[in-house]
């Protein structure tokens, strides 16, 4: 299971027991979108090859509100 924790500057990720951070700039480069417009599903796809997406995607701007 992958855990994502969002803040204004990026995402703290726990993936298979390994903790790391994805900075907002890196996410913007990878998705070619501004950070607030990226969805949690898009971030998860950057981390996992074939993630289980059982919920509706949420924009980071919505998550941070």
Q: Per-residue pLDDT for the chain (65 aa), expressed as one digit of tens each?
A: 899 999 999 999 999 999 999 999 999 999 999 999 999 999 999 999 999 888 999 999 999 98
Classified as helix, coil or strand, 12 is: strand
Domain tally for the chain?
Answer: 1
Residue 22: its pLDDT value, please?
98
How many angstroms separate the CA atoms of 23 and 4, rounded? 12
**What pLDDT is attached to residue 23?**
98
The boundaries of the domain holding residue 29 are: 2-64
Contacts of 26 (CB under 8 A, 6+ apart): 10
């Amino acid at each position: 299971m992958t855990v994502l924790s969002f803040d204004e500057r990026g995402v703290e990720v726990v993936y298979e027991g390994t903790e790391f951070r994805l900075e907002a700039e890196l996410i913007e480069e990878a998705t070619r979108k501004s950070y607030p417009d990226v969805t949690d599903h898009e971030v998860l796809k950057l981390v996992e090859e074939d993630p289980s997406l059982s919920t509706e995607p949420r924009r980071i701007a919505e998550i941070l509100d």
